[in-house]
């Protein structure tokens, strides 16, 4: 206990006493409380008690405590005594320090647009990597994963599409480029999202799509802290995958669709008929969940072949519907005046989706150390090392997504995976109608054979050395050298496998080989940075100047080797390639080797000036001058300036009266220009490659090779330029309980590299790309948060609600498209625009349908209705009640209907019956979260979603999940309740039309236009998702300390627990986030690695 001396007049003086606690009511010993304008103050005792004598009310006091921002309180003297002061756990947002490019800045004087994500909201999420955790963390950030698997890649964009040539944000982890998918979310201290040109310009050419700045945790002085966290989770699909698993129901449904299709030659896709008794056999076994010895699922027929009459649940056989995942986290941090350190490690393990004893498996390890040492008064040295590795191993085909897709084809619960003698089932007689098609494209056999397995390893190593020299106060020179190495290592082993469709006869799968392939590529990056910074303030002026330079080189190499034949199954090594010779002396072994190498280098000079007067008028200017090896010497350099201004009007004297309501208010404006160098490394020069083979032979033994030159290039190729204008308003109300941040912005991308002019064909090559297209994005976003607390049952109850909403629209403002063809972009096109037909829904009666095909010619898109003779369709030819109708809305004189469904010339001027029916761009992305804590309990719920995004399900190969048997009738998986949505005379209000197989399959002669882009089947895949729900309980310190534990917290956490999407009305099988995913075998189908829902329990303990 230490009381400070005070010297004040004695009049109207009282003693101020009370306690200072944190939000949970725990007393804070050692907190400083000080009376503003006097020397009076006090440091709290172990019970958080304070006492200041002789205080003259009203008074302003400042409370300071380590880890908390200073808190000012105005006291009238009427407060209860003793007066309890509660420091808000959630830091005082507006006084936060924000990480920006090459430094930090006080949020209060920030003039650019920066989104800040607190690491604690990411830390304990049960997710694979930081990329998943960041989804929905900021209104400007839109993250999609390539599929639902643990090894999927994430694509990030900030404020919409930057350029037709792509462009993804620069992700910097402690100043070095990194991969969010390789980052342990528990290592994150904070994330800054730099959105506008003023904040990004310092990074120049790479930053035109925005910057994600991740700062990892570092040690603080004091007692060493050891933290260990453990989590065990279970992953299920987000969707309801309750598939038909009885042969009878499956075959009946499939063949019903087939019989009512215009698909010509066969009535039964799977060859089971009533006439031959096969259907009866299936019916008899319909209720046999397991095989009844009296009614075997596989019989040998009179023809000597196996015949299949089972109820095999392929979906649950192949898919693991409740797969475990576990995570261990470990960190040690601490330090003293000289050295501070943080060391963290993580092990993550996820059992994959494929079951049947051949599970795919994902593991990742990461390690990070961060050590800072004070060498002397002037010099500080720090060293960061991080290594992350992930491994994914799977069986079967080298393309996992292709396996998942092919399981949907030519399978049936009637079949079993194995024959009674243990051989693999394939080419069953029941598929002979379908031209003797193999079951599941052989992919199931390939996976089950055990002779085909693959693995993929990715390793990221980053080493950072940083020297900070501070010769005198306010001046700092930083020299930094970073090294990165990224390794990708793939290994594929393929082996022969065998199948049978009759007892005693086993066939080798044709085309299979015993081969082993390794594909290794590695990339090394060296990055050197020097910056100098000077900072000073005088008489209300504040100024900071930064200048620096950065040089980067990157070298990547790929080497792949494939060798055949490998002698022994199960071994993955070139050492076991058969080295013996054939009879003619030629070696049996053969190898294919591929190799490629590529390099780039960039150099940039940059500077920034910050100035403010009394924190009221704020000015910032920055610029970067960047050079890249990707352009020719004359066009190599680009200059990218930016400027931002802010007026913190709440600091103005005239604003004082309003401060009790609006505690803080700031207007911001920024403008600037950035570059985009999104071209391949050697795009600007023509090169000759000789590693090409063609379908021509000169010697009857090898394909001939030939040399080829890359496409001609424009001599003047240079940067795309991105100009950004941003205006923002920051407001805080009610003593910063309510906070608002809003921005509107325009982003102009100029001089995008596209084909410049169409050259006559005599040119003899593709037109060189030039900088000649523009696009403009306009958008807005805002976030709103409320945080407060009250006493409940004598304990502090803290809660907060926050949310955001953002939207943007991107329009192409310049594009070379003289004919106005819709198959290309055109000026004025909103990015993502979907052109399609309008539909009149389903025909109510046969008469209406007949009249329609009499009145209107839709043959081009609904050939099925005009198919001569109708094939063997039991309904006969033509359209019927329940069939699907396209509307004739144009194409004739003055855009009048012309009685023909057509695309016209597919141009802007003549687009027939096409109309703009939707957009593939996501609109209105939003999220909101609710947190509270009380008496050791903490709770958070995080919702995230997209207001609107259109998706047209692919009506061709692979579109099985949405279309079911409307795509191809030969599909394996059909939801048990699929028919509820299907039109029948008894179910006339259904969404899907009259059941006809192949009617959505656009690439055949039988379809009826379901799969041609139209507004009826256009799906809104906007969604609202309960992204995360966490409930935790922290043991009171007095209890945990008894077992020498500082903190012990138990938690239950759920990821993707619930969602709503309009898509749910039309399909149960497709998660909206998977629908338009790019990483599925055939994109735009929703057939791929199932989107995960994870429920976890765990504990974190700190010593």
Tell me if residue 403 falls in helix, strand or coil.
helix
Please, which residue, 698 or 790, has the CB nearer to other proteins? Answer: 698
Cα–Cα distance, 38 to 843 (Å, whole number): 85
Which tokens sit at 746?
């325009």
Rule CB under 8 A: is residue 868 a binding residue for other proteins?
no
Per the rule left: phi > 0, alpha: psi between -120 and 50, beta: everything else, 281 is alpha
Question: Which residues inside 492-531 make contact with other proteins, applying CB under 8 A?
Answer: 530
At closest approach, how far in Å is the CB of 182 from other proteins?
26
Please, which residue, 422 or 760, has the CB nearer to other proteins? Answer: 760
Rule CB under 8 A: is residue 605 a binding residue for other proteins?
yes
Cα–Cα distance, 358 to 449 (Å, whole number): 10
Cα–Cα distance, 173 to 484 (Å, whole number): 12
Residue from 528, 712, 820, 832 touching other proteins (CB under 8 A): that is: 712
Cβ–Cβ < 8 Å for 520, 559: yes
Q: In sequence order, what are the residues at sequence separation of 6 or more whose Cβ sits closer than 8 angstroms to the Cβ of residue 445?
A: 424, 425, 426, 438, 439, 497, 499, 509
Q: In sequence order, what are the residues at sequence separation of 6 or more whose Cβ sits closer than 8 angstroms to the Cβ of residue 660?
A: none
Rule CB under 8 A: is residue 705 a binding residue for other proteins?
yes
Residue from 696, 790, 793, 1044 touching other proteins (CB under 8 A): that is: 696
At closest approach, how far in Å is the CB of 536 from other proteins?
13
Rule CB under 8 A: is residue 535 a binding residue for other proteins?
no
Rule CB under 8 A: is residue 289 a binding residue for other proteins?
no
Cα–Cα distance, 262 to 1094 (Å, whole number): 44
Closest Cα partner for 994 from 832, 883, 828, 907? 883
At closest approach, how far in Å is the CB of 751 from other proteins?
17
Rule CB under 8 A: is residue 39 a binding residue for other proteins?
no
At closest approach, how far in Å is the CB of 551 from other proteins?
8
Which tokens sit at 6?
């005070």
Q: Residue written as tokens 């997209």?
A: 946
Size of the site for other proteins (CB under 8 A): 63
Other CB atoms within a 10 A radius of the CB of residue 817 amount to 20
At closest approach, how far in Å is the CB of 800 from other proteins?
46
Write each residue from 623 to 662 as x if it is in contact with other proteins (CB under 8 A), else as -, in one continuous string.
----xxx---x--xx-------------------------
Cβ–Cβ < 8 Å for 506, 423: yes
Residue from 241, 332, 601, 1037 touching other proteins (CB under 8 A): that is: 601
Please, which residue, 660 or 687, has the CB nearer to other proteins? Answer: 687
Rule CB under 8 A: is residue 7 a binding residue for other proteins?
no
Please, which residue, 633 or 986, has the CB nearer to other proteins? Answer: 633
Question: Which residues inside 732-761 make contact with other proteins, applying CB under 8 A?
Answer: 758-761
Cβ–Cβ < 8 Å for 231, 1097: yes
Q: Which residues pair with 516 in a beta bridge?
A: 493, 563
Rule CB under 8 A: is residue 932 a binding residue for other proteins?
no
At closest approach, how far in Å is the CB of 822 from other proteins?
16
Rule CB under 8 A: is residue 435 a binding residue for other proteins?
no
Cα–Cα distance, 502 to 425 (Å, whole number): 9
Which tokens sit at 67?
């880890």
Cβ–Cβ < 8 Å for 518, 561: yes
Q: Which stretch binds other proteins (CB under 8 A): 9-17, 79-87, 456-464, 691-699?
A: 691-699
Cα 392 off chain centre by: 18
Q: Which stretch binds other proteins (CB under 8 A): 92-100, 425-433, 621-629, 661-669?
A: 621-629
Cα–Cα distance, 645 to 640 (Å, whole number): 17
Cα–Cα distance, 966 to 960 (Å, whole number): 8
718-745 exposure pattern, b = at least 16 Cβ within 10 A, e = fewer: bbbbbbbbbbbebbbbebbebbbbbbeb
Residue from 689, 851, 987, 1003 touching other proteins (CB under 8 A): that is: 689
Cα–Cα distance, 988 to 1028 (Å, whole number): 40
At closest approach, how far in Å is the CB of 204 from other proteins?
14
Q: Is the dihedral of CA 831, 837, 838, 840 positive or negative?
A: negative
Rule CB under 8 A: is residue 261 a binding residue for other proteins?
no
Q: Residue written as tokens 């096109």?
A: 829
At closest approach, how far in Å is the CB of 552 from other proteins?
10
At closest approach, how far in Å is the CB of 707 from other proteins?
4
Q: Which residues pair with 609 in a beta bridge?
A: 545, 621
Say if strands 298-300 and 222-237 run parallel, antiparallel, or are unpaired.
Answer: unpaired
Cα–Cα distance, 934 to 773 (Å, whole number): 56
Rule CB under 8 A: is residue 413 a binding residue for other proteins?
no
Write each residue from 563 to 592 as x if it is in contact with other proteins (CB under 8 A), else as -, in one continuous string.
---------------------------x--
Question: Which residues inside 658-687 make contact with other proteins, applying CB under 8 A?
Answer: 681-682, 685-687
Residue from 462, 714, 798, 1008 touching other proteins (CB under 8 A): that is: 714
Please, which residue, 257 or 826, has the CB nearer to other proteins? Answer: 826
Rule CB under 8 A: is residue 336 a binding residue for other proteins?
no
At closest approach, how far in Å is the CB of 767 from other proteins?
7
Please, which residue, 534 or 786, has the CB nearer to other proteins? Answer: 534
Residue from 104, 596, 851, 984 touching other proteins (CB under 8 A): that is: 596
Cα–Cα distance, 867 to 879 (Å, whole number): 10
At closest approach, how far in Å is the CB of 699 from other proteins?
7
- Is-cis flag, bond preceding 58, omega within 30? yes
At closest approach, how far in Å is the CB of 677 from other proteins?
12
1042: buried, middle or exposed (CB in 10 Å: 19+, 13-18, 0-12)? Answer: exposed
Please, which residue, 580 or 702, has the CB nearer to other proteins? Answer: 702
Query: What's the helix, strand, coil split of the chain in %, to 5?
Result: 15, 50, 40
Rule CB under 8 A: is residue 423 a binding residue for other proteins?
no
Cα–Cα distance, 258 to 260 (Å, whole number): 5
Residue from 538, 700, 868, 1038 touching other proteins (CB under 8 A): that is: 700
Write each residue from 1023 to 1052 as x if it is in contact with other proteins (CB under 8 A), else as -, in one continuous string.
------------------------------
Other CB atoms within a 10 A radius of the CB of residue 1036 amount to 12
Rule CB under 8 A: is residue 768 a binding residue for other proteins?
yes
Q: Residue written as tokens 């698993």?
A: 245
Residue from 39, 536, 537, 597 touching other proteins (CB under 8 A): that is: 597
Rule CB under 8 A: is residue 275 a binding residue for other proteins?
no
Please, which residue, 133 or 525, has the CB nearer to other proteins? Answer: 525
Please, which residue, 598 or 984, has the CB nearer to other proteins? Answer: 598
Tell me if residue 938 falls in helix, strand or coil.
strand
Q: Is the dihedral of CA 784, 789, 790, 791 positive or negative?
A: positive
Question: Which residues inside 466-485 make contact with other proteins, applying CB under 8 A?
Answer: 469, 471-472, 475, 477
Contact positions toward other proteins, by CB under 8 A?
469, 471-472, 475, 477, 530, 532, 547, 549, 590, 595-603, 605, 627-629, 633, 636-637, 681-682, 685-690, 694-710, 712, 714, 758-765, 767-768
């Amino acid at each position: 206990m230490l009381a400070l001396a005070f010297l004040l007049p004695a009049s109207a003086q009282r003693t101020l006493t009370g306690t200072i606690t944190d939000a949970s009511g725990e007393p804070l010993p050692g907190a400083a409380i000080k009376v503003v304008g006097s020397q009076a103050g006090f440091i709290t005792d172990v019970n958080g008690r304070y006492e200041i004598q002789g205080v003259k009310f009203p008074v302003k006091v400042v409370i300071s405590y380590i880890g908390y921002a200073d808190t000012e309180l105005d006291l009238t003297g009427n407060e209860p005594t003793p007066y309890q002061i509660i420091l808000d756990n959630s830091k005082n947002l507006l006084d936060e320090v924000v990480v920006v490019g090459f430094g930090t800045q006080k949020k209060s004087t920030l003039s650019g647009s920066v989104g800040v994500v607190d690491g604690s909201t990411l830390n304990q999420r049960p997710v694979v990597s930081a990329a998943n955790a960041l989804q929905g963390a900021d209104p400007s950030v839109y993250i999609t994963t390539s599929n639902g698997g643990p090894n999927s890649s994430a694509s990030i964009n900030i404020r919409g599409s930057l350029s037709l040539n792509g462009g993804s944000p620069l992700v910097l982890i402690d100043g070095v480029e990194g991969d969010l998918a390789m980052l342990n979310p528990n290592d994150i201290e904070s994330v800054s999202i730099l959105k506008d040109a003023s904040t990004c310009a310092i990074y120049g050419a790479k930053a035109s799509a925005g910057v994600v700045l991740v700062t990892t945790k570092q040690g603080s002085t004091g007692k060493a802290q050891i933290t260990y966290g453990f989590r065990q989770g279970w992953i299920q699909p987000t969707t309801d995958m309750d598939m038909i698993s009885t042969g009878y129901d499956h075959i009946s449904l499939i063949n019903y669709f087939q019989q009512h299709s215009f698909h010509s030659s066969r009535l039964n896709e799977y060859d089971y008929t009533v006439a031959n008794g096969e259907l009866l056999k299936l019916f008899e076994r319909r209720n046999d969940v397991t095989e009844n010895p009296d009614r075997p699922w596989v019989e040998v027929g009179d023809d000597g072949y196996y015949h299949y009459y089972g109820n095999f649940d392929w979906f649950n056989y192949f898919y693991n519907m409740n797969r475990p995942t576990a995570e261990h986290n470990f960190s040690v941090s601490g330090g003293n005046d000289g050295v501070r350190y943080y060391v963290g490690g993580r092990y993550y393990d996820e059992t994959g989706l494929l079951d049947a004893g051949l599970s795919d498996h994902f593991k990742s390890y990461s390690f990070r150390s961060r050590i800072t040492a004070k060498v002397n008064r002037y010099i500080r040295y720090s060293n960061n090392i991080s290594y992350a590795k992930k491994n994914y191993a799977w069986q079967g085909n080298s393309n996992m997504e292709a396996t998942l897709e092919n399981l949907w084809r030519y399978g049936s619960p009637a079949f079993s995976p194995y024959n009674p003698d243990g051989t693999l089932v394939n080419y069953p007689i029941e598929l002979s109608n379908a031209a003797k098609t193999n079951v599941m494209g052989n992919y199931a056999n390939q996976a089950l054979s055990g002779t085909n397995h693959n693995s993929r390893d990715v390793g990221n190593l980053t080493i950072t050395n940083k020297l900070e020299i501070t010769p005198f106060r306010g001046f700092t020179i930083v020299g930094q050298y970073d090294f990165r190495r990224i390794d990708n290592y793939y290994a594929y082993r393929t082996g022969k496998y065998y199948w049978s469709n009759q007892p005693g006869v086993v066939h080798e799968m044709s085309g299979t080989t015993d081969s082993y392939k390794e594909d290794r590529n590695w990339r090394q990056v060296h990055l050197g940075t020097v910056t100098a910074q000077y900072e000073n303030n005088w008489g209300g002026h504040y100024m900071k100047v930064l200048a620096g330079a950065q040089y980067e080189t990157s070298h990547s190499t790929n080497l792949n080797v494939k060798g055949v034949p490998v002698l022994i199954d199960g071994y993955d090594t070139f050492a076991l390639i058969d080295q013996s010779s054939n009879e003619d002396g030629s070696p049996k072994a053969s190898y294919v080797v591929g190799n490629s190498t590529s390099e780039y280098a960039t150099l940039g000079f940059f500077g920034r000036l910050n100035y403010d007067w009394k924190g009221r008028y704020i000015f910032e200017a920055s610029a970067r001058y960047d050079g890249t090896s990707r352009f020719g010497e004359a066009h190599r350099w680009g200059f990218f300036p930016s400027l931002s201004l802010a007026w913190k009007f709440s600091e103005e004297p005239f604003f004082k009266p309003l401060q009790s309501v609006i505690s803080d208010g700031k207007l911001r404006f920024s403008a600037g220009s950035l570059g985009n160098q999104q071209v391949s490394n050697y795009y600007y020069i023509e090169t000759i490659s000789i590693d090409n083979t063609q379908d021509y032979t000169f010697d009857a033994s090898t394909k001939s090779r030939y040399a080829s030159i890359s496409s001609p290039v424009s001599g003047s190729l240079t940067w795309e330029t991105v100009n950004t204008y941003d205006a923002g308003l920051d407001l805080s109300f009610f003593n910063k309980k309510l906070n608002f941040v809003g921005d509107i912005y325009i982003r102009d991308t100029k001089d995008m590299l596209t084909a410049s002019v169409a050259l006559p064909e005599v040119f003899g090559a593709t037109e060189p790309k030039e900088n000649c297209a523009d696009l403009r994005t306009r958008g807005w976003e805002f976030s709103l948060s409320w945080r407060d607390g009250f006493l409940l049952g004598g304990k502090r109850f803290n809660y907060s609600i926050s949310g955001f909403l953002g939207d943007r629209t991107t329009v192409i403002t310049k594009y070379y498209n003289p004919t106005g063809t819709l198959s290309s972009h055109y000026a004025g096109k909103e990015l993502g625009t979907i052109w399609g037909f309008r539909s009149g829904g389903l025909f109510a009666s046969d008469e209406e349908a007949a009249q329609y095909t009499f009145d209107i010619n839709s043959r081009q898109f609904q050939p099925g209705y005009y198919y001569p003779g109708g094939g063997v369709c039991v309904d006969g030819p033509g359209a019927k009640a329940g069939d699907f109708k396209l509307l004739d809305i144009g194409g004739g004189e003055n855009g009048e209907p012309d009685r023909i469904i057509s695309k016209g010339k597919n141009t802007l001027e003549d687009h027939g019956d096409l109309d703009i029916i939707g957009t593939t761009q996501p609109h209105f992305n939003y999220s909101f979260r609710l947190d509270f804590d009380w008496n050791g309990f903490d709770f958070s719920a995080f919702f995230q979603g997209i207001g609107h995004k259109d998706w047209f399900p692919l009506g061709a190969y692979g579109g099985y999940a949405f279309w079911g048997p409307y795509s191809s009738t030969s599909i394996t998986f059909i939801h048990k309740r699929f028919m509820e949505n299907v039109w029948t005379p008894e179910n006339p209000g259904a969404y899907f039309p009259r059941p006809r197989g192949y009617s959505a399959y656009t690439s055949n002669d039988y379809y009826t236009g379901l799969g041609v882009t139209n507004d009826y089947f256009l799906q809104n895949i906007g969604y609202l998702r309960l992204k995360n729900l966490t409930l935790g309980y922290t043991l009171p310190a007095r209890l945990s300390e008894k077992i020498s534990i500082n903190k012990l917290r138990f938690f239950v956490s759920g990821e993707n627990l619930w969602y709503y999407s309009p898509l749910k009305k039309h399909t149960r099988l497709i998660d909206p986030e998977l629908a338009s995913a790019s990483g599925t075998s055939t994109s735009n189908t929703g057939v791929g690695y199932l989107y995960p829902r994870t429920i976890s329990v765990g504990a974190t303990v700190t010593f």
